[in-house]
Each structure stands twice: as structure tokens, then as C-alpha cells.
Chain A
Amino acid sequence: MTTVPGSSIDVQVLLFAQVRLAAGAGRVALALEAAAGPPTVADALGALVAVCPAVAPHLPSCRVALGVDYVTPEQPLGPGDELALIPPVQGG
């Protein structure tokens, strides 16, 4: 995905379980600075904490998904990407 220098891109972050309850929302929209190249998952998490500080204590225990796959903090993002914060799972 290419980005225009000096622009920003919009992404969504889905929140679940204790993170959703702490944030009081299941979805947060973020505009990420893209002037220096595509922002990463780590950039998105930084922006998320800035607008929603209540999620910060949960971040160390969370994994991140882009769409339906787990990704690393270095993963670059494109316009319209949908991330999900995945706290420790408890199925079964």
C-alpha cells in the first residue's frame, strides 16, 4: 500500500473483553501520521494510548491482529486497515 508523503491514514482498532470494558468502546478510529512512510502497528498502539489512556495497562498482555491474522509491532499499515487488540484468550 502506498501513502502520500505528508498525509495521514485512517485505521480502526477493535477492542475486546477487559480492554473493551476499560476503554468503554469496542472500536476506536485513529488518524496516523504517514509523512515518514507507512505507520506501523507500534505507531497505532502509541496513538491508541494517546486517545484512550485506559488501555495502556493492558497492552503488555495483548497481541495484535491485522484483519484476522496475528501480526508483529513492525507490521506496516495502510489506509482503512482494521486492527484488533487481543487480550489473553479464554475459550473452551
Chain B
Amino acid sequence: MERIVVVTEAPLEAALAEGVARGEPGSGLLTASVVADGAVGAWLDFYGVVRAAEPDGTLLAGLDYEAYVPMAVHQLHLLLDRLEPRYPLSGVAVVHRIGFVPVGEPSLLVRILSPHREEALAACAQLIDELKREVPIWKHPR
């Protein structure tokens, strides 16, 4: 399974490209070369986007994301280690933006490629659930 994990202040697509440029594995997840062998039947991109209002109705300019970056990256890799034996996936990219993210912009990208849609959808749900329990990232309304 190709994988790439990035936690960065850069916008998501740029961060994904930078991760690949730094030589991290997972370049196929950016270039789509991972689908070229014909085994991938599902390409799932999930974007978590900053909403304009808090649950109580308070309007926001955006969210300031804070992370314990080395631990966040490590915990995301552990999470992918748990997903890998459970779902037959071809590739997973997780990119989380930190710092200020304005309303309407994405803070999280999860890209999953797999032979069939069922495992991509199930793995995406589990990944995001576990991310919200285990990965040391916090948000401050602004």
C-alpha cells in the first residue's frame, strides 16, 4: 500500500506535492500512476472544510489548528498500520493543515485508492474516526 502522511502549514494540495518532492513514498498518490496498472477501481478524496459557524451560531473567520507535529505524524502512521491489514487498499494519503485555515478552505485531505468502493469508504470512515480520537491536533476558533 502506498502511503503518505503530511502535517503542515501549507495548503493541502501543495503539501501533498511537497511531501512527494521530499522523496517520501506515495508519489503515485499524486500522479495517479498508482491507478495505471488497472487494479484500482475506487478513488476517494475526502476534504474536511472549515464551517462558517460554531454549533452555538457564533460566526468565525476560520480556525487556528495547533498540533504536536512529530506525534501527530507518528500517530497517523500507527493508524494506517491498523488499517492496512483490515482493508485491501492500494494507497492512502493523509494531509492535515495546521495554522490558520479560513472558513471555506479544507483543513484535511484523505485520499484512498482501492480495488472496490466498499473498502475505500469503510477505511475512510475508520481513519477519520480514529484521527479524531488519537491524533494530537487541536483547533482554536478565530
Contact = CB atoms under 8 A, between A and B. Distances in A.
A34 interface: no
B137 A90 contact: yes
Contact of B137 (A65, A67, A70, A91): A91
Given A65-B68, A89-B132, 15 more contacts: A16-B136, A65-B71, A65-B136, A69-B74, A70-B134, A84-B68, A84-B71, A87-B138, A89-B137, A90-B138, A90-B139, A91-B136, A92-B107, A92-B108, A92-B131
Nearest to A15: B68
Contacts of A84: 68, 71, 136
A91 B128 CA distance: 9
A84 to B, nearest CB: 6
Contacts of B68: 14, 16, 65, 84, 86
A18 B131 CA distance: 19
Chain B, interface size category, equals 20 to 34
A89 B133 contact: yes
B55 interface: no
A91 B137 CA distance: 5
A68 interface: yes
A86 B107 contact: no
B135 interface: yes
Given A16-B136, A17-B138, A89-B138, A68 B71 contact: yes
B3 interface: no
A68 B75 contact: yes
B134 to A, nearest CB: 7
B70 A89 contact: no
Interface in A44-92: 65, 67-70, 84, 86-87, 89-92
Contacts of A69: 71, 74
Given A16-B66, A16-B138, A17-B66, A90 B132 contact: yes
